[in-house]
Amino acid sequence: MSGPPLFEENGAMTRPNIIFIVADDLGFADLGCYGGRPAAFGPVSPHIDALAAGGLCFTQGYANAPVCSPTRFALMTLRYQYRLRGALEEPINSRSKGDPRLGLPPELPTLPSLLRDAGYHTALVGKWHLGYPPHFGPLRSGYDSYYGIMAGGVDYFTHCSSNGQHDLFEGEEPRHEVGYLTDLLSTRAVQHVQRHAADARAGKPFFLSLHYTAPHWPWETRDDAAIAPSLAANLFHLQGGNVETYRRMIHHMDEGIGQLMQALRDEGIAHDTLVVFTSDNGGERFSDNWPLVGGKMDLTEGGTRVPWVAHWPAVIAPGGVSTQHCMTMDWSTTMVELGGGQPLAAHAPDGVSLAAVLRNPAATFERPLFWRMNHRGQRALRQGDWKYLQVDGHEYLFNLAQDERERANLARVHPQRLEELRAQWLAWDATMPAIPPDASVSLGYSAKDMPQR
Ligand SMILES: [Ca+2]
């Protein structure tokens, strides 16, 4: 389980501080380091691009789901989210408030609880989206401290969710602050690093989850406070937004990440801190998922393939690119392992550790990845270069090495392979609880609001 970088010559184990940064609905090609185009104001993501240049970029990394809360269940539990009733909501919405089934059960071991038990200080700054108190909440699932939002999305200025209720909390107490949410989260993260740096240097590492809501709707930049009151009735913001606004929202997050990295350097702990950056699902309406097709809610590649950047000077060589196939729960499993956490046998991870890949990006291994969605009856399996996909009852077979845009359907060319992969998917699905009839699918808009492709 451990390798050279975890042990000093004297045998003492050195464990990294860990900062896990999640963007919300950020697409595969929204960042410069993933081929994104510069905006009119300049590069969109210079600080994240610098993290990639100084660390390791994954080109074949995925989210556990193409929508928010299911991916977060997997992130927290190190397991396929389909095992939990709350994760079968696509996604959890404000109507689930008070429902004792629809959240992350506090008795389960989690990424933060396993790290806390291993001696880490654990904190969540940002979005939770795994059910509401009194039944659920970050402080009940392993975080020592919490500052952020409980819902799937809030207005960046009023900090109210779709049902109009205030949704910014310190622990479980409402917190009222003036400011643009992305900046408030960045400031908190920087303060957190400053507050815990001395402990970290003295041997008590920290685990900080920094879950931005950017660049999720509503389409507000730091300069758009004036439009916030007009959005309260519908945060989906179907009458607004554009690519330039969207890119500025990413840029504001990127600036915060730049401040965070500067704080790590100022405190002298950047070398021994693992920073991971990703998105919880594929991009939404203004996102760039090129060359992938589809987006949020889809099991085509644009809905699930997301950026994965890892930066850890003590261990990861700069400038690396990895083709390792992986998904969210693999990263959770990796972080628990690097932190010396011990998953419980009764809740054995479905995730697989990527620690060896961080040390040697050329050392890839076979990693079949499975998905399913209630929405449109979608199924997907990635196995090597091949992908089995079902949408609306239609089956497809793609060779992603030749066609990652999933336009060249090989189902009739390779019927035997299609059959094998379908059988593999069905065998996996049989190990997961079925989708109950009352599981909800929530779409914010339809073709009557904007044309589909
Ligand atoms: Ca999301």
pLDDT reported for residue 11: 39
pTM of the model: 0.97
> Integer distance in angstroms from the first to the last C-alpha of the chain?
47
Show contacts of 127-130: CB within 8 Å, 24+ apart.
Answer: 127/22, 127/24, 127/152, 127/211, 127/212, 127/213, 128/72, 128/211, 129/68, 129/69, 129/72, 129/91, 129/92, 130/69, 130/72, 130/73, 130/76, 130/86, 130/92, 130/103, 130/104
Query: For 415, phi and psi rounded to 5 degrees?
Result: -60, -35
| Angstrom distance (rounded) from CA 358 to CA 356 | 5
Tokens of 299: 């099991």
What is the reported pLDDT for 268? 97
CA angle 414, 419, 423 (to 5 degrees): 150
**Number of Cβ atoms within 10 Å of the Cβ of 249:** 31
pLDDT at 45 (0 to 100): 98
Q: Are the beta carbons of 368 and 380 closer than 8 angstroms?
A: no
Cα 67 to ligand 1 centre (Å): 5
Instruction: Give pLDDT, residue 444.
Output: 87
Q: State whether residue 2 is helix, strand or coil.
A: coil
Looking at residue 66, its pLDDT comes to: 98
Contact 347, 77 (CB under 8 A): yes
Compute the distance from residue 159 Cα to the ligand 1 centre, in Å: 17
Distance 11 CA to ligand 1 centre (A): 42
- DSSP-derived letter for residue 350 is S
CA 371–ligand 1 middle distance (angstroms): 16
Split the chain (453 residues) into runs of 10 and give each run's mean pLDDT. Answer: 43 80 98 96 98 98 98 98 97 90 97 98 98 96 98 97 94 97 98 98 97 98 97 94 98 98 98 98 97 97 98 97 98 98 97 97 97 98 98 98 98 98 98 96 92 81
pLDDT score at 12:
43
Supply the mean pLDDT for the chain.
Answer: 95
Tens-digit pLDDT profile for residues 19-68? 999 999 999 999 999 999 999 999 999 999 999 999 999 999 999 999 99
What is the percentage of the chain residues whose pLDDT exceeds 90?
A: 94
Helices and strands per DSSP (H, E), number in the chain:
10, 14
Per-residue pLDDT, 240: 97
User: In angstroms, what is the span from residue 229 Cα to ligand 1's centroid?
Assistant: 23
Distance from the alpha carbon of residue 24 to the mean position of ligand 1, in angstroms = 4
